[in-house]
Amino acid sequence: MELPKFIEKQIEGRFEYHLPISYNRFLAQTIFDNSKFDLADEIKDKLFSFIEKYNISSYVGWDENSILYSLALKTLALNKKCLLVYFDKDSVISEIQPNTSKVKVEWWNSIQFMDGDELCQSFGFQTPEMFLKAVNYYNKDLSNRYFYVCEIEYERINKYTNIYNSDVTNWFFILCEEQNIQSIISTLSKKDEKPNVDKLLKLSSYTVNIQIGGDEGYLDYILIQSKINIDNLIQEIEIKQLKFISEYQELLKECKPFDDEWKVYFYKERYLEIIKNYC
């Protein structure tokens, strides 16, 4: 297990904060690890349905570590508008936020982080075709997926992990003021005018890329970009992440083994308290 620590880089007048995450991630234990939690089928069904309701999925290797990424997002998004650019069919957004207006766009900021990399590969702004050519994904099909942007309500930010398409487990977030939303959407929509990070940061407070790895050497990663130094916010994120790790691991220790109904009840109650405190 490692501890979350962002790496600061200053590049061409902007500040970047990188959080590369190893294969072992941050949590020494998760309830999705069968080698550490040999759950009876009935208890497993109750726990997994509960935890997925609260925005965690065991698909493609995701687990409670994704809460730490949501925690970073929600810290940055406080008192901001949050735009999500996702790569999927347009209707999938209704799974996390019904009746949401979305716009088909031509660009997003691309990264890729794989086992053996020191920091992520940053491809800059790409169209879907450029993105699939640059990354090592098997599925190159665009017949039923594209880039879409929508505004995500603050309390639903955690649910971003419910949106993914096949092997594409990347998300791009733009945190901004309300008056700049339409200018940002317009910037991402013009196919003949490739944006750049600095142009987008003039319209926004921060941008955030999140990758969650699953197999084929892909690992988790967070990239935060800002026009100004946000060391204080980054430190706040790291402190929250460390506190969450400590409290959640203690909760699992108290519940292990999950051999009684009261432990499931206790886990649910305490889990919601921890989430409320940090996310």
In a domain, 220, yes or no: yes
Residues of the chain with pLDDT under 50: 60
Residues 157-182: tens digit of each pLDDT: 888 888 876 666 899 999 999 999 99
pTM over 0.85: yes
Q: Which helix (H) or strand (E) holds 132?
A: helix 128-134
Q: Which helix (H) or strand (E) holds 256?
A: none
Structural domain total, the chain: 1
In a domain, 2, yes or no: no
Backbone angles phi, psi at 122, to 5 degrees: -110, 115
Residues 35-50: tens digit of each pLDDT: 788 888 888 888 888 8
What is the C-alpha radius of gyration for the chain, rounded to an integer number of angstroms? 19
The whole domain housing 265 covers 7-278
In a domain, 230, yes or no: yes
CB 90 within 8 A of CB 148: yes
Which residue from 56, 27, 16 is spatially nearest to 7, judged by alpha carbons? 16
In a domain, 103, yes or no: yes
pLDDT value at residue 45? 86
CB 251 within 8 A of CB 37: no
* Cis peptide bond N-terminal to 257, omega within 30: yes
pLDDT value at residue 55? 67
In a domain, 233, yes or no: yes
Structure token pair of residue 152: 């995500």
In a domain, 185, yes or no: yes
CB 14 within 8 A of CB 198: yes
Structure token pair of residue 246: 């400590």
Which residue from 187, 19, 10 is spatially nearest to 118, judged by alpha carbons? 19
Which residue from 228, 218, 129, 124 is spatially nearest to 172, judged by alpha carbons? 124
In a domain, 1, yes or no: no
In a domain, 167, yes or no: yes
pLDDT value at residue 60? 46
